């Protein structure tokens, strides 16, 4: 299915000749102010103010920089000037106290480890016992308990999503 994609959505509609409504309002506002000042102030002062207003109105209506109109750039500049710009980042330091164990505590831990390893069988002997005996090796082999009081557990299936986005069901295998 093909859809028509709108283009040139950032271009304003031309309403009055080659000008958009916004551009026309800037120029009309400057013309209206100049017209009112003609009756209020002297001719030479009116001429200077009218030239100044015309330049400002043309700049606001027609100048774009990097695709943004001049009024928007001025608005963002004013916001930048009035907003605070001081950004401080201070790392929060958490104080941690580490207790250094006394020599007695270290010696008692070492003795416990030595006792533990002395009670465990040798690896070679354990390997030999696993290969040759029929009886379980004490403290090493666990009896398998059947869950659900002798019933065989049901197979579990899980729904997962591939990288391509397809959904697929697969058998779940727990290696516990």
pLDDT, one tens digit per residue, over 33-74 is 999 999 999 999 999 999 999 999 999 999 999 889 999 999
User: Is 62 inside a domain boundary?
Assistant: yes
Q: Using the predicted structure, report yes or no on whether residue 110 has a pLDDT greater than 80.
A: no
* Helix and strand numbers, DSSP H then E, in the chain: 5, 6
Look-up: residue for tokens 């379980």? 136
User: Is 18 inside a domain boundary?
Assistant: yes
Q: How many domains does the chain have?
A: 1
Task: Judge contact between 30 and 56, C-beta under 8 A.
Answer: yes
- Mean pLDDT to the nearest integer, 127-151: 63
Confidence class for position 76, pLDDT limits 50, 70, 90? very high
User: Is 77 inside a domain boundary?
Assistant: yes
User: Is 1 inside a domain boundary?
Assistant: no
Confidence class for position 147, pLDDT limits 50, 70, 90? low
User: Is 37 inside a domain boundary?
Assistant: yes
Task: Judge contact between 46 and 38, C-beta under 8 A.
Answer: yes
Count CB-CB contacts under 10 A for residue 76. 11
User: Is 172 inside a domain boundary?
Assistant: no
User: Is 162 inside a domain boundary?
Assistant: no
User: Is 138 inside a domain boundary?
Assistant: no
Domain that residue 44 falls in: 14-82
Confidence class for position 121, pLDDT limits 50, 70, 90? low
Q: pTM (2 decimals)? A: 0.45
């Amino acid at each position: 299915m093909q859809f028509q994609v709108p283009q040139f959505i950032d271009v304003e509609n031309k309403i009055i000749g080659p000008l958009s409504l916004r551009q026309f309002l800037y120029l009309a506002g400057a013309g209206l102010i100049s017209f009112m000042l003609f009756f209020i102030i002297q001719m030479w002062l009116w001429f200077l103010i009218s030239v100044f207003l015309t330049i400002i109105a043309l700049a606001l209506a027609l100048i774009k920089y990097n695709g943004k109109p001049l009024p928007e750039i001025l608005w963002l500049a004013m916001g930048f000037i009035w907003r605070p710009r001081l950004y401080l980042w201070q790392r929060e330091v958490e104080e941690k106290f580490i207790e250094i164990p006394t020599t007695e505590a270290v010696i008692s831990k070492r003795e416990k480890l030595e006792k533990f390893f002395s009670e465990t069988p040798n690896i070679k002997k354990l390997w030999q016992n696993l290969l040759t005996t029929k009886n379980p090796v004490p403290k090493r082999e666990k009896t398998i308990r059947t869950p659900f009081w002798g019933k065989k557990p049901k197979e579990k299936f899980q729904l997962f999503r591939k990288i391509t986005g397809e959904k697929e069901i697969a058998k779940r295998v727990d290696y516990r």
